[in-house]
Amino acid sequence: MAELNDTSIQTIPKDDVLVIGNGMVGHHFVDQLRAQHPACSIRVLSGEPRLAYDRVHLSEFFSGKTADELAMTSAEYYQDLKISFHTDAWVQEINKEAKVVTTRDGQKYAYQKLVLATGSYPFVPPIPGNQQEHCLVYRTIEDLEAIQASANVSKVGVVVGGGLLGLEAANAIKETGLETHVVEFAPQLMAVQLDAPGGRVLRDKINELGVKVHTQKATTEIVPGEDCRYRMNFADGSHLETDMILFSAGIRPSDALAREFDLSVGERGGIEINNFCLTSDPSIYAVGECALWQQRIFGLVAPGYTMARAAVSHILNGDSPDTLTFEGADMSTKLKLMGVEVGSIGDAHSNTEGALSYTYENQALGVYKKIVVDAEQTTLLGAVLVGDTSDYDTLLQYALNGISLPEFPESLILPSTGDSAPGLGADALPMTATVCSCHNVSKGDVIAAIDEGNCDLDSVKSCTKASSGCGGCAALLKNVVDSELEKRGVEVKKDICEHFAHSRQELFHIVKVEGIRTFEQLIEKHGNGLGCEVCKPAAASIFASVYNEFVLDKSHIGLQDTNDTYLGNMQKDGTYSVVPRVPGGEITPEKLILLGEVARDYALYTKITGGQRVDLFGARVEDLPDIWQRLVDGGFETGHAYAKALRTVKSCVGSTWCRYGVQDSVGQAIDLENRYKGLRAPHKIKFAVSGCTRECAEAQSKDIGVIATDNGWNLYVCGNGGMKPRHADLFATDLDSETLVKYIDRILSFYVKTADRLQRTSVWMDNMEGGLAYLQDVIINDSLGIAAELEAQMETVVDTYQCEWKTAIEDPESRKRFRQFVNSKNQDDNITFVQERGQIRPATEAEKKSINVVELA
């Protein structure tokens, strides 16, 4: 290594703090340091070609999230904070005496304090053949891009490793549409977090999802396959063929720099640190997965954040008594693996001497729960939850805070019966109770934020950063905030607006029970004032859900928003879209021709959507009735694209055409769309039906998803795409068509009856006490005794369906609404188009001044 002389050292600018690594923990360190010391000079060297991104939600890349959406920072953000940064800056040398590091391109950077946040790297077992082209790892965005490229030329994928990361990787492969397998050396999945029965339940649930699990398999070699690209030979003589192999068999700390440049490392790896996160060099710190504290590596983000805060505190305060320290971390975790809820707390394996355990298992629902208590049965030591983690927050607080257990500890995991299950409200938590482990926010911190004037949930989140990490503490945080505000006499309102002292759910109940059919009756009896743009559309939606009357009736028209008023979506230039329904995506050639003719005759822009429909854009308001007339005469109906209603039921071609299909997904999709096409709801609803577990219709990203099995249909609920994508949860398996429809009837009616205004099904269920398990109890077991009522409500909607386009064009009064000008037949000259790619698009302001506008026929 080249020596630096005094002259060369003096020419290198010296930063107060130099950070090697810009993962989640490295970025958190930078954020914390800058917040507490606005003036110090900070430089970041990222070995990756990009700045920090969210590895916790990495698998969402395969469900549509982009690298930019995963980003946790940006060049502009660091520039605003006056933080110097370099990407593709791989450090290959540390000169501890000179306090200078050198990157592989020869750049040198000096420091006062150096922070190693180099993270970890995937462990690849030493299997002959593991270096071939389609043998990959799952760690970075570049890895994801390689996985996607491999999946595009593959049919079968295998993940080696059945731990947390392995199952995340399996979900990633499954999202690409490949037949997916998991190969695990141990006898069970997630052996670190789960006991044997919990691992068995998890395996069964993942198998049900179409991912084949192979445990107790030791791969001896990877050789060319006969039917696939590779063949994995196992020590027991069996084998498995695959086109792609994804290694996710654990991580190893990235400690190569420490080893080479004489920092103390553990016998099995990791940069040794003390409670201040200092290494063996007094000027160098290590945080995150590269750091070894008391012979332990912490592979979760929350402990890494705690290390980062401790390092910042020591850099700024030295050995002061006020300096924060790292003294280990709780490794409890709650997550969803391929839609399966899993939770692990503390001593999940009953390793504590004298420990006792209580278990509950419901094989029909695929739920397993276990709590581990001390010999005196007064303290919770650990827990395992598979299939239902609704008790996780309560159990975690019992474990972390040493709260005394109830007389019958088993009541904590047994299904609730009335008031028999002991609750643990926000008031029962001590001030030291951790609300958000990612950002180390305690109940006391939340209350202090409220003391400082943050008197709503969003303000508390902004002030404390609670719930801005993994988001798992959202429900607990809301409970603490609401409880504290109520104790201070602050009313925690659920009112829909200033005109009604009621929530949407309460208004729905009032309308249904009292038979109220107009807004005037509703506000006269239960509200005040004239109403507003919040309560009027909400009331309109409730009336439509309960009575299904024509939305443009005189008594309802004034309540609708612009889109419902004109039965089409208004576009940026003042024109409207026309979206006819195409049930299940199936369409005849004659109807396709008709759509083309209408688009041609009215000069409309045509777009095939992800929902398997043809959207027609650029319709002038005065042309809408004539366009609808032609479409209705040709057998089309409104597609409700403008409404908070059922939009589409997407389908694959199913068993009719596809060699993998096991059920008629098209027929099922058409039946479901025709049944629910008139349903108005608090938010838009989307369905999909896949004919096999290859999932070409993407059913697991829909409000209602249906996937065919050899024995019937698997039902998934409460998923969505959009700004905050969420996988649907497996609700019930192997249903016949009659039972499938019955459950969907009940679910949608219950949603319409109980959801808040503009609340998607995913948020509705997540906010429901008991979550998925509670919904299953209501729908499947009729625990509330309302199943018949819910089914009857849906039958009312089905029986009263009308095509709103058809009703509008048959009503002379309704047709009068569709005029550009009341006293003139002239068109709006402000609506102009230009040609692009053979079709029209709205002209820009500059283009409107030119002559290249499209004249409509």
Binding site listing for siroheme: 696
The distance of Cα 629 from the centroid of its chain, to the nearest Å, equals: 41
Q: Please give the Cα distance from 460 to 323 (Å, whole number).
A: 25
Contacts of residues 663-666 at CB distance under 8 Å and 24 or more positions apart, as own/partner, are 663/691, 663/692, 663/708, 663/709, 663/712, 663/713, 664/691, 665/689, 665/690, 665/691, 665/697, 665/706, 665/708, 666/584, 666/585, 666/586, 666/691
Query: How far apart are the C-alpha atoms of 456 and 443, rounded to whole Å?
Result: 15
Binding-site positions: 652, 658, 692, 696
CA distance 358 to 341: 19
In sequence order, what DSSP letters do the residues of 217-277 get, joined into one string?
--EEEEEE-SSSSEEEEETTS-EEEESEEEE-S-EEE--HHHHHTT--B-TTS-EEE-TT-
| Calpha distance 413→359 (Å, rounded) | 8
Binding site listing for [4Fe-4S] cluster: 652, 658, 692, 696
Bridging pattern class, strands 685-690 and 646-651: parallel
Which element (helix H / strand E) includes 599?
helix 589-601
- 388 in Cβ contact with 369 (< 8 Å): yes
Cα atoms in the 13 Å half-sphere on the side-chain side of 94: 22
Residue with tokens 């009736």: 553
Torsion, CA 389, CA 393, CA 394, CA 398, rounded to 10: 120
- HSE-CB at 373 with a 13 A cutoff on CA atoms is 22
Could you give the CA distance from residue 423 to residue 442 in angstroms, rounded to a whole number?
Answer: 20
- Strand extents, DSSP E, 536-673: 576-578, 605-608, 614-619, 646-651
Question: Which residues lie across from 223 on neighbouring strands?
Answer: 231
Q: Return the H-helix or E-strand segment holding 708.
A: strand 704-709
Distance spanning both ends of the chain, measured CA to CA:
78
User: Strands, E, within 64-192: which ranges?
Assistant: 83-86, 91-95, 100-103, 108-116, 120-122, 135-137, 156-160, 179-184
Q: What is the Cα–Cα distance from 485 to 426, expressed in whole angstroms?
A: 12
Is residue 805 within 8 Å of 638, Cβ to Cβ? yes
- The CA angle 492-459-432, to the nearest 5 degrees, is 85
At CA 816, angle to CA 811 and CA 818, rounded to 5?
A: 105
Rounded-to-integer distance, Cα 407 and Cα 656, Å: 58
Q: At what angle do helices 164-175 and 141-151 cross, to 10 degrees?
A: 50
Task: Quickly count helices (H) and strands (E) in the chain.
Answer: 28, 36
Nearest one of 145, 136, 105, 137 to 120, comparing CA atoms = 137
Burial 189-199 (b: 16+ CB within 10 A, else e): bbbebbbeebb
Q: In angstroms, rounded to a whole number, what is the distance separating the alpha carbons of residues 607 and 815?
A: 27
Q: Is the dihedral of CA 90, 93, 99, 100 positive or negative?
A: negative
For residue 639, report the phi and psi dihedrals to the nearest 5 degrees: -95, 5
Total residues found in the chain within this entry:
857
